[in-house]
């Protein structure tokens, strides 16, 4: 069993096509792993075993007939932010606890249309607002990783798997699925990937359709995969991406064959290293790893250049105006009338207010209120318009950099994974988790996080590569070089099995 | 920017979120903290800078203005907490 669930997506695909294994056998192995691990990890909020086995059965029939589609019979986890037809979709919020969509998200439909098997829905921060998965209405996700304790035994401290896609990152790292879908508004794919030793890519804004994904901040939200390897991420993004008439911001451009670009290396590639990312609060070991990443790319034939992205430090405060503003408007739809939970009041306004008081968690309320404030009469210019101007400058920084370099290398997070409760006391401290990832969303660029090594505590660290618009191909090529140089970063002990 | 208790109540009402008296002090300090922190944007000279309205230069696609979907009122209201004959039911609204 363990050997089946430990396969990469690409290996599993090969074995299925060679008829060495069956999709039903593979799916069953993952369902058993989930059953054993989920009471401890809480990565899945719903397991759709029956649906998974039915999909696997169809996959086996197609594989038998030699009619396999791209992802035929490959079991994956699906973030609960994606609407799934006939399957409860909560966005990990109480307000949507009973919501059963009558439609499938476009990205989900793309995956199932290519034969992928859905194991279940994955935990996330409520409405994808958070960096630790602690704000979920289904409770937090426990990282499969543990810190080194005293006397060489692992510490019992529960670590966060990052967020908002914490269920995705934990499930992939713990071998509960071959890969997972995720979404990224300010770092929600890349930060959890970094903290769990997995690969996560947020593609260029417009690369994937947002249709049927519960909206947080529409000018920043993008779908992407979390996977065990760069190759697996490339295979998945190729299926997830593409134009969709139902999302006018999805771009009508052909999707390149990302897998075909792998193995080409970085010879002659110009890699930018931005001075401004050497921020206060950057841990020494993350800095060292960054230098190591620079050396790896240089050894592989890349040319390293120091660059300047002068508005970097303003990306996070600008984000915390733009994202809450869009969230306050997007989440206005949860009024207890059309869907979700209603708490009856004396009149319609009272009903709205009571419904939203009971339905939303603290962080969601905070962001809605910040958004409401910055958009309110008299403050719009001072906050929202100012932030959108700063956003233009952040994008210009990158536009200037692309004159000199092909890709930018940074750490993904300033620190390794933290423990439960360490950052929940002060919202600002949690927001700082996204300091290196949020610039990428503000500029609409693609970014990938690749596992690059372990911290002194024995927990994973990631490096981020940022690319030109729609140049995900280069991110996969360079990411693969980092991945090979760093070697495998895998969970040492499946302690939830009692070992 | 520091917000006072009345502002907290006003924002909550605008956002249609009921808050208890015991919530006000905590929210005041959290919202003030965040708004103080974003003040650093005032250091940036944005004179003559266009606000960003889209990250990619792509033109939005247009389609013919025709009905392409519909006739599924039952699916649409299926998730409504209260519905009757494919209508949403809400408390009486008197202007």
DSSP A220-281: T-EEEEEESSHHHHHHHHHHH-S--TT-TTS--SPPP-TGGGTT---TT-EEEEEGGGS-TT
pLDDT, position A182: 98
A residues 105-164 lying closer than 8 A (beta carbon) to B: none
A100 at B interface, C-beta within 8 A: yes
B66 at A interface, C-beta within 8 A: no
Residue B31 to residue A369, Cβ atoms within 8 A: yes
Residue B88: CA count within 13 A, CB half-sphere: 16
pLDDT, position A1: 46
Chain Cα centroid distance, residue A355: 29
Q: pLDDT by residue for chain A (499 residues), tens digit each?
A: 458 999 999 999 999 999 999 999 999 999 999 999 999 999 999 999 999 999 999 999 999 999 999 999 999 999 999 999 999 999 999 999 999 999 999 999 999 999 999 999 999 999 999 999 999 999 999 999 999 988 888 999 999 999 999 999 999 999 999 999 999 999 999 999 999 999 999 999 999 999 999 999 999 999 999 999 999 999 999 999 999 999 999 999 999 999 998 999 999 999 999 999 998 888 999 999 999 999 999 999 999 999 999 999 999 999 999 999 999 999 999 999 999 999 999 999 999 999 999 999 999 999 999 999 999 999 999 999 999 999 999 999 999 999 999 999 999 999 999 999 999 888 888 999 899 999 999 999 999 999 999 999 999 999 999 999 999 999 999 999 999 999 999 998 999 998 5
Domain assignment present for residue B93? The answer is no
Q: Rounded to an integer, what distance in angstroms lies between the CA atom of residue A93 and that of residue A109?
A: 23
pLDDT, position A2: 53
pLDDT, position A476: 98
H or E, element range at A447 = strand A447-454
Å between B67 CA and nearest CA of chain A: 13
Domain assignment present for residue B57? The answer is no
Å between B36 CA and nearest CA of chain A: 10
Q: Which two tokens stand for residue A119?
A: 């194991």
**Residue A436 CB coordination number (10 Å):** 31
Per DSSP bridges, beta strands A303-307 and A270-274 are parallel
Nearest to B79 among A100, A321, A390 (CB): A100
Nearest chain B alpha carbon to A344: B91
Query: Which residue out of A93, A135, A188, A250 is catalytically annotated?
Result: A188
Domain assignment present for residue B19? The answer is yes
CATH code for the structural domain at A2-264+476-497: 3.90.1300.10
Instruction: Establish whether A15 is a catalytic residue.
Output: no
What would the pLDDT profile of B28-53 be if each residue is shown by its tens digit? 999 999 999 999 999 999 999 999 98
Please write down the HEC assignment for all residues of chain B: CCCCHHHHHHHHHHCCCCCCHHHHHHHHHHHHHHHHHHHHHHHCCCCCCCCCCCCCCCCCCCCCCCCCCCCCHHHHHCCCCCEECCEECCCCCCC
Q: Which two tokens stand for residue A394?
A: 């952040």
Instruction: Establish whether A79 is a catalytic residue.
Output: yes
A344 contacts: CB under 8 Å, gap ≥ 6: A351, A354, B91
How far CA A359 is from CA of A46, A126, A152, A363, A463, in Å, comes to 20, 11, 44, 12, 37
Residues of A in contact with B53 (CB under 8 A): 388
Q: Please report, in angstroms and rounded to a whole number, the separation of the first and last CA atoms in chain B.
A: 36
Residue A389 to residue B50, Cβ atoms within 8 A: yes
A residues 429-488 lying closer than 8 A (beta carbon) to B: 443-444, 469
Nearest chain B alpha carbon to A356: B17
Contact A464, A293 (CB under 8 A): no
Residue B26 has pLDDT above 80, yes or no: yes
Count: domains in chain B = 1
Residue B55 to residue A248, Cβ atoms within 8 A: no
Contact A348, B91 (CB under 8 A): yes
Residue A245 to residue B63, Cβ atoms within 8 A: yes
Domain assignment present for residue B72? The answer is no
Complete DSSP assignment for A23-81? HHHHHHHHHHHHHHHHHHH--EEEE-HHHHHHHHHHHHHHHHTT---TTTT-EEEEETT
Q: Rounded to an integer, what distance in angstroms lies between the CA atom of residue A191 and that of residue A207?
A: 20
Residue B35 to residue A370, Cβ atoms within 8 A: yes
Q: Rounded to an integer, what distance in angstroms lies between the CA atom of residue A304 and that of residue A282?
A: 21
What is the domain extent for residue B29? 5-43
What would the pLDDT profile of A378-437 be if each residue is shown by its tens digit? 999 999 999 999 999 999 999 999 999 999 999 999 999 999 999 988 888 899 989 999
ipTM of the complex: 0.96
Per DSSP bridges, beta strands A75-79 and A117-122 are parallel
- CA dihedral A8→A11→A12→A16, nearest 10 degrees, is 170
What band does B95 get if pLDDT is binned at 50, 70 and 90?
A: low
A159 contacts: CB under 8 Å, gap ≥ 6: A142, A143, A145, A146, A147, A195, A417, A418, A419, A420, A459
Q: Rounded to an integer, what distance in angstroms lies between the CA atom of residue B35 and that of residue B58?
A: 33
Per DSSP bridges, beta strands A222-227 and A179-184 are antiparallel
pLDDT, position A198: 98
Complete DSSP assignment for A352-391? HHHHHHHHS-HHHHHHHHHHHHHHSTTTTIIIIIHHHHHH
Q: Where are the domains of chain A?
A: 2-264+476-497
Residue B16 to residue A336, Cβ atoms within 8 A: no
Q: Rounded to an integer, what distance in angstroms lies between the CA atom of residue A143 and that of residue A417?
A: 9
B24 at A interface, C-beta within 8 A: no
Q: Which residues are bridge partners to A328 per DSSP?
A: none
Nearest to B93 among A318, A348, A372 (CB): A348
Q: Which two tokens stand for residue B75?
A: 């699916």
Residues of B in contact with A389 (CB under 8 A): 44, 46, 49-52
Nearest to B61 among A252, A335, A352 (CB): A252
Nearest to A356 among B7, B17, B56 (CB): B17
Closest CA to A236 of A191, A169, A187, A181: A181
Nearest chain A alpha carbon to B43: A314
Residue B81 to residue A336, Cβ atoms within 8 A: yes
């Amino acid at each position: 069993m363990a050997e089946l669930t430990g396969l990469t997506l690409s290996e599993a695909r090969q074995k299925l096509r060679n008829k060495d294994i069956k999709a039903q056998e593979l799916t069953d192995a993952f369902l058993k792993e989930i059953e054993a691990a989920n009471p401890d990890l809480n990565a899945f909020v719903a397991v759709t075993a029956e649906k998974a086995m039915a999909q696997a059965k169809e996959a086996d029939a197609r594989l038998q007939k030699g009619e396999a589609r791209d992802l035929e019979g490959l079991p994956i986890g699906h973030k609960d932010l994606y609407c799934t037809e006939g399957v409860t979709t909560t966005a990990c919020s109480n307000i949507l606890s009973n919501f059963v969509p009558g439609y499938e998200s476009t990205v989900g439909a793309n995956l199932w249309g290519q034969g992928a098997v859905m194991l279940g829905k994955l935990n996330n921060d409520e409405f994808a607002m958070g960096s630790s998965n602690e704000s979920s209405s289904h409770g937090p996700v426990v990282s499969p990783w543990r810190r080194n304790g005293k006397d060489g035994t692992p510490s019992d401290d529960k670590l966060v798997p990052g967020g908002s896609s914490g269920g995705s990152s934990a499930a992939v790292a713990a071998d509960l699925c071959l890969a997972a879908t995720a979404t990224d508004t300010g770092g929600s794919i890349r930060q959890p990937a970094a903290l769990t030793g997995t690969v996560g890519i947020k593609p260029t804004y417009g690369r994937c359709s947002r249709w049927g994904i519960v909206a947080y901040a529409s000018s920043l939200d993008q779908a992407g995969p979390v996977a065990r390897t760069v190759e697996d991420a490339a295979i998945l993004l190729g299926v997830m991406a593409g134009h969709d008439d139902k999302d006018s911001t999805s771009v009508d451009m052909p999707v390149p064959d990302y897998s075909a670009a792998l193995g080409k290396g970085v010879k002659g590639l110009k890699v930018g290293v931005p001075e401004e990312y050497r921020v206060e609060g950057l841990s020494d070991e993350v800095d060292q790893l960054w230098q190591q990443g620079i050396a790896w790319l240089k050894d592989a034939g890349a040319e390293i250049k120091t660059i300047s992205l002068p508005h970097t430090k303003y990306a996070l405060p600008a984000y915390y105006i733009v994202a809450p503003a869009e969230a306050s408007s997007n989440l206005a739809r949860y009024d207890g009338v059309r869907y979700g939970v209603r708490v009856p009041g004396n009149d319609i306004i009272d009903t709205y207010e009571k419904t939203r008081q009971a339905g939303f968690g603290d962080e969601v309320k905070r962001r809605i209120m910040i958004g409401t404030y910055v958009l309110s009469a008299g403050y719009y210019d001072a906050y929202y318009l100012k932030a959108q101007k700063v956003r233009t400058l952040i994008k210009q920084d990158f536009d200037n950099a692309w004159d000199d370099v092909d890709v930018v290398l940074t750490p993904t997070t300033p620190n390794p994974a933290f423990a439960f409760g360490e950052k929940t006391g002060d919202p600002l401290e949690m927001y700082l988790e996204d300091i290196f990832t949020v610039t990428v969303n503000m500029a609409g660029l693609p970014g990938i996080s690749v596992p690059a090594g372990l911290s002194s505590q024995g927990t994973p660290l990631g490096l981020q590569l940022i690319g030109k618009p729609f140049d995900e191909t280069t991110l996969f090529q360079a990411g693969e070089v980092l991945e090979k140089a760093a070697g495998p970063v895998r969970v040492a002990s499946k302690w939830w099995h009692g070992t | 920017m520091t917000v006072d208790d009345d502002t907290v109540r006003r924002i909550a009402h605008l956002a249609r979120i009921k808050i208890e008296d015991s919530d006000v002090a905590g929210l005041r300090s959290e919202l003030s903290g965040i708004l103080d922190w974003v003040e650093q944007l005032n250091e940036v000279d944005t004179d003559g800078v266009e606000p960003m309205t889209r990250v990619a230069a792509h033109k939005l696609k247009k389609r013919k203005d025709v009905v392409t979907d519909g006739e599924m009122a039952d699916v649409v209201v299926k998730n409504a907490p209260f519905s009757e004959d494919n209508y949403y039911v809400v408390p009486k609204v008197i202007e």
